[in-house]
Chain A
Amino acid sequence: MHDDTLSRIRDDLARARRAGTSSAATLIAACVDVLDVTGVGIMVMVGSGHRGTVGGSDAAIRLVEELQFTLGVGPCIDTCHSGLPVLEPNLAHPEVSRWPELSGPAVDAGVAAIFGFPVRVDGVGLGALDLYQDEIGHLRPEQHADAMVMADLVAREILEWQAEAVPGTLASELDQPERLRFVVHQASGMLSVQLGISVHDALARLRAYAYAEDRAMNDVAADIVDRTLVLE
């Protein structure tokens, strides 16, 4: 990536922040443009395992992020845990099958190859940058290098958001119900009371139910919160 490109993106982000518009959208659009991939998504995930979605450039990557959240497995989750890039050039027929539950629906949605890059700041993990291609194959070396540069830019941008927040509170860019899936955590809390288990186990039950019923975790959680669904 040319230095000029990087400074132009930084300027665009700063302008979006100043204008009070979401720089997340700018960030995602810049990733798609610079990396020349089919789609890009950004996920936040901290050490405790709490995660959320910052956004995705198209429906397919948003589905992949949703699936990863529901299933609790996938390239961004692996990359967050290991701190290393996770590369799957052939999701339908991988050399080593890593996320069989994820592959089917993702391939059906048009995801042929998927790549996760860690979003970290000085050893502290903040999330992952997800890229997908609609054709099988590895990233080109310059795409790989640029993805690492963009992942670093994502980390810096997330910190810019947090720097604006009142100490002790979460950046407003992240503190949004749909991004952090508040409804899922509310449902976990309710379920933990109803079943007499920990919230951690309740989240696992919710996840298992959503998977078994082939439904999005958010929808199942919303039903529990509305009290139209009670898990036994």
Chain B
Amino acid sequence: MADREALLSRTFVEIADTLVAEFDVVDVLTTLASRCVELFDVDEAGLMLAVEGVLQVAASSSQTMRLLELFEVQHDEGPCVDCYRSGLAVECGDLSTARVRWPTFAAEAIDAGIGSVFAVPMRLREQTIGSLNLLRKGTGQLSSEDLTAAQAVADVATIGILQHRIAAERQLLALQLQGALDSRVLIEQAKGVLAATTDTSMESAFDAMRAYARSHNRRLADVARALVHRELSGEQVVSPTSER
């Protein structure tokens, strides 16, 4: 039991690391799936994440698990699908009793040698982002300790993933800001270039640039860049018809 406690602690630390370091979500979740097989009385484990409301296989402890998860996604039925939709844990200690509930999945999983299936939601408050799925060859319920610990693993993983998503959004926004700032400066430089080459005011230079961008179906920032780098002459921009 002490070994298990240690492994569980280490798993939590591994997930927590994702909060601070740059990481690959799929790598972390694949490690997590393997850890679940070691930690709990199960033979297979996998994680599914929803992308824009559609469940996708994120990580699996083995190829068998991966195929079963893909099968669930394709047929839109099974413990992970139910767990994700309801946001509640799904427990099925004997898969042969679930032939009505999941007609295609139950048959496929039993064929693959699976006897019982369990799924816990990856959920933070009202937001469910996926599910952690545990499969076992034998039948019978999972112990309440295992189920509680599995939910804890799923909770910590959820927080890590959500944090990562927020960080990725912030980074994207920061890069957009950089790009927008560069474009803005470029436009002012180009106004100066155009004003000097065609002896006009900054206002007329800007109007001419905008008119040229519109009539040539180009972005204003691209026209500005071309002017600043002298790939486009001021005369071309001021009288757009003269280039023909």
Contact = CB atoms under 8 A, between A and B. Distances in A.
B192 A188 contact: yes
- Of listed B176, B190, B196, B234, residue having the most chain A CB within 10 A: B196
Interface residues of A, number: 39
A182 B34 CA distance: 57
A188 B224 CA distance: 14
B170 A159 contact: yes
Contacts of B191: 186, 189
A48 B188 contact: no
B170 A193 contact: no
Interface stretch (B60-68, B95-103, B177-185, B210-218): B177-185
Given A48-B182, A50-B182, A122-B171, A189 B177 contact: no
A27 interface: no
B175 A124 contact: yes
Nearest to B180: A170
A34 B228 CA distance: 44
A162 B193 contact: no
B185 A165 contact: no
Contact residue range for chain B?
Answer: 20 to 34
B25 interface: no
A44 B196 contact: no
A199 B173 CA distance: 27
A47 B178 contact: yes
Contact of A159 (B173, B179, B234): B173
Contact of B195 (A158, A167, A186): A186
A121 B178 CA distance: 12
B112 interface: no
Given A193-B196, A193-B197, A124 B188 contact: no
Given A122-B170, A122-B174, A159-B173, A50 B180 contact: no
Contacts, number: 110
B196 A163 contact: no
B154 to A, nearest CB: 26
A167 to B, nearest CB: 7
B189 interface: yes
A180 B185 CA distance: 8
A148 interface: no
Contacts of B183: 168, 170
Nearest to A46: B178
A228 to B, nearest CB: 14
A68 to B, nearest CB: 17
A48 B185 CA distance: 11
Nearest to A163: B173
- Of listed B174, B195, B234, residue having the most chain A CB within 10 A: B174
Interface string B186-205: 00111111111100001000
Interface of A: 44, 46-48, 50, 52, 121-124, 126, 155-156, 158-159, 162-163, 165, 167-171, 174-175, 180, 182, 185-194, 199, 225
Given A159-B174, A192-B189, 13 more contacts: A50-B185, A123-B171, A159-B173, A162-B174, A170-B177, A174-B181, A175-B184, A185-B188, A185-B189, A186-B188, A186-B189, A189-B188, A192-B228
22 contacts: A122-B170, A122-B171, A123-B171, A126-B177, A162-B173, A162-B174, A163-B173, A168-B180, A170-B184, A171-B177, A175-B184, A180-B188, A185-B188, A186-B191, A186-B202, A189-B192, A189-B228, A190-B192, A190-B193, A193-B196, A193-B234, A199-B189
